[in-house]
Amino acid sequence: MFLRVFLFLFFQLLAAALVCAMESGPQRLLNAALAALVGANLWLVLDGIRGMRLLTWLRSGDTSDIPLGSGFWGEVFDRVRKLVRQRDRAASESDIRLQDFLSALQASPSGVVLLDHDGRIEWFNQTAGNHFGLDASRDMLQHLGNLVRDPSFAAYYAAHDFRQAVVMPGRASSSTIPIKLSVHMHPYGEGRSLLLSRDITALEQAEAMRRDFVANVSHEIRTPLTVLAGFVETLQSLPLNEEERSRYLELMAQQGQRMQTLVSDLLTLSRLEGSPPPPAQEWLSVKTLMAQCQQDARELSSLLWGGSQSLHFAMDAAMDIAGSASELHSAFSNLIANAIRYSPPDKSIAVRWSRLPDGSALFSVKDQGHGIAPEHIPRLTERFYRVDRSRSRETGGTGLGLAIVKHVAQRHGAELVIESTPGKGSCFSIRFPAVRIRLPLVISLVIGA
């Protein structure tokens, strides 16, 4: 500030001194005073130019340097520039934090929609876009109520009671592939709202499967228990001859065996779901497994059909497989037992183990039964799902066999493939990856010099 006053006075004195030095006479003092006034005005003009340059710089929002030099305006420029740079730095850091926050919301598995006080969309992540069919280039600042027309959501949104979530179908939901969303509004700020959506299709399906499972288990166990209770009451209340008593006891034994088989299959499924994957270093002989399955198959076929079915077992070559012997035997036996149960007694069943060119292996069971309609095939591995309930009970099936096969295949990195044509039979195959297959080791002893 001192320099500014000094320069102002310096310009006046300099102009007056020049006039005094150049003139003489009585008008010299008056001219010196006028010269001092001109010097002051010149200084004001130059100072104003510097001030205007600073004002233009402020208005333009430019952050580059301007040559104002030292002095009052130079110091003002330096201080303002420092404040502007601090503001820009703070704005940049805030923008980075905002982008990080939005990126986190974008990566959220839940849908997120930000609404203003009028219910217009300010921002949403891609998950919400997929849930509600929103497009960022089209739907920004649109009223959410005009875009999401589901009646349950419309009633929920209009009631303004957001204490609980509402369940509604997703935009891509259809009769064949239902999608369920849980939507919850959370008011915040000055009239704004945060909408969260979550895909609960898997939870709904799991809950439905749990209900069906409990209902099916209750039904499957209640049926033989009812039969047993009826026979026990008959034996207790009616005088029966030895032949009738023997027949009733045989039927009771069959129902007891049916319950035992059901409980055994349930325990097998529970063990498969709760135990670690089978080891990939324990090698088993496929020839031994096939021999065990062949013996079991002939016994079952003899029990059900008197041995009239034609059973064919074949192997391309001797091989070893890495995995659990009990699980693989259970899966193979279930596929073979199903083929025996659902094939007429005069038909043949072919069981084959083959090695594929890529090193993988295929276990297949092909029958000449009634076949399965295409709409049933995707659901065959569901627990207790049956194409024909009456035939399943007649042949002693529990409805859990293919569920066990699917779990065993998955635990061994294998794939269950089902092919069937109504009236022509079915083929159930398990394809094992090459990493679990090897040719048996042959140790040769060479004796000689």
Arithmetic mean of pLDDT over the chain? 82
Q: To the nearest 10°, report the CA torsion of 7, 10, 11, 13.
A: 160
- Tell whether 444 is covered by a domain: no
Q: What DSSP element (H or E) covers 426?
A: strand 425-432
Domain limit, last residue, from 231, 247, 274: 274
By mean pLDDT, which of 254-263, 267-276, 351-360, 385-394 is the weakest? 385-394
Using the 3D structure, point to which of 75, 97, 119 is the last residue of a domain.
Answer: 97
In a domain, 102, yes or no: no
Q: Tell me, what CATH number does 371's domain have?
A: 3.30.565.10
Give me the pLDDT at residue 274, please.
74
pLDDT of residue 172: 83
Domain count, the chain: 4
Predicted local confidence at residue 128, as pLDDT: 93
* Model-wide pTM > 0.75: no
Encode pLDDT of 209-232 as tens digits: 778 777 777 777 887 888 888 888
Task: Specify the pLDDT at position 33.
Answer: 66
Note the pLDDT of residue 393.
52
Residues 119, 77 share a domain: no
CATH number, residue 267: 1.10.287.130
Residue 72, domain member (yes or no): yes
pLDDT of 412 > 90? The answer is yes
Q: Are residues 368 and 351 in the same domain?
A: yes
How far from 18 is each of 5, 7, 36, 134, CA to CA, in Å? 20, 16, 10, 79
For residue 449, is pLDDT > 50? no
Q: Is residue 88 part of a domain?
A: yes
d(CA 262, CA 383) in angstroms, rounded, equals: 12
Residues 112 and 89 in one domain: no
Cα–Cα distance measured from residue 394 to residue 399, given in angstroms and rounded to the nearest whole number: 12
Q: What's the domain range around 247?
A: 204-274
**Residue 78 reports pLDDT greater than 80:** no
306 plus 288 within the same structural domain: yes
Mean local confidence (pLDDT), 294-320: 89
Same domain, 302 and 410: yes
Domain assignment of residue 103, yes or no = no
Alpha-carbon gap, residue 47 to 77, rounded angstroms = 13
- Residue 416's φ and ψ, nearest 5 degrees, are -95, 125
Provide mean pLDDT across the span 31-44: 65
Single residue among 274, 297, 314 that ends a domain in this structure: 274
Q: Return the minimum-mean-pLDDT range out of 51-55, 394-398, 422-426.
A: 394-398
DSSP strands (E only) in 127-273: 166-169, 180-188, 192-199
Residue 397 shares a structural domain with residue 420? yes
**Contacts (Cβ under 8 Å, ≥6 apart) of 56:** none
In a domain, 448, yes or no: no
Q: How far is CA 316 from its chain centroid?
A: 41
Q: What local confidence, expressed as pLDDT, does residue 443 receive?
A: 41
pLDDT classification of 112: cutoffs 50, 70, 90: very high
